[in-house]
Amino acid sequence: MLLSRLTPFSLNRFSLTSIVKNCGWLVLVAALTSCGFQLRQPSPIAFKTMFISGSSTISKPLRKALTEQGIKLVESAEDAELQLELLKEENEQRILSLSGTGVVREYELYYRVQYRTKVAGEPVWGLPLVMEGRRDYTYNDANLLAKQQEQKLLTESMQTDVLNGILRRLSALKKAE
């Protein structure tokens, strides 16, 4: 009975629509690949060896990211073309807004890493630099476990953003001449 309702015109129209849609996707993909579109890749760092001092929660992911880029992490500062010292790491949570009854509605999370660099051949350390991430989220006592999980995910996201920012800044450094 269903087939009797379908006319040849409606079958052709349906297949024509899907063909046009698929061709549209094909043209879009071809245009993106032909223009050289690529996902953003990390910028290459000019240094082949690096020494990292200081301890923080970001040091392990930083070491991993640098080794993935082909940077050799050395045990001695004298053997490194670039020294990176992680000075300070801060996690902070502030109240962003309150309800009319004085109950917390929103929090603001901050994550900061302060570091400095020294290029081999340079006599002094560079000025301390700060990379910072900030996120805010709504809070509700009724969803305490979910909000704690959200806070943890936001903190991890900020750490990733700060790590990528540090890598971008390191890629902008040049060797001493």
Over residues 22-33, the mean pLDDT reads 78
Task: State the pLDDT confidence band at 22, using cuts at 50, 70 and 90.
Answer: confident
**Whole-number pLDDT of residue 61:** 94
Over residues 107-117, the mean pLDDT reads 95
Question: What pLDDT digit, counting tens, does each position of 73-101 carry?
Answer: 999 988 999 999 999 999 999 999 998 89
Most confident of 29-33, 118-122, 157-161: 157-161
Q: Which two tokens stand for residue 148?
A: 């704690």
pTM of full prediction above 0.95: no
**Whole-number pLDDT of residue 30:** 75
Question: What pLDDT digit, counting tens, does each position of 144-154 carry?
Answer: 899 999 999 99
At the top level of CATH, the class of 49-172 is alpha beta
Over residues 54-78, the mean pLDDT reads 92
Strands (E) in the chain, as ranges, are 49-53, 72-73, 82-98, 104-119, 129-138
Q: Which residues contact 79 (CB under 8 A, 6 or more apart)?
A: 49, 51
Q: Which residues contact 173 (CB under 8 A, 6 or more apart)?
A: 45, 46, 47, 82, 117, 119
By the 8 A CB rule, do 61 and 82 touch? no
pLDDT of 1 higher than 60: no
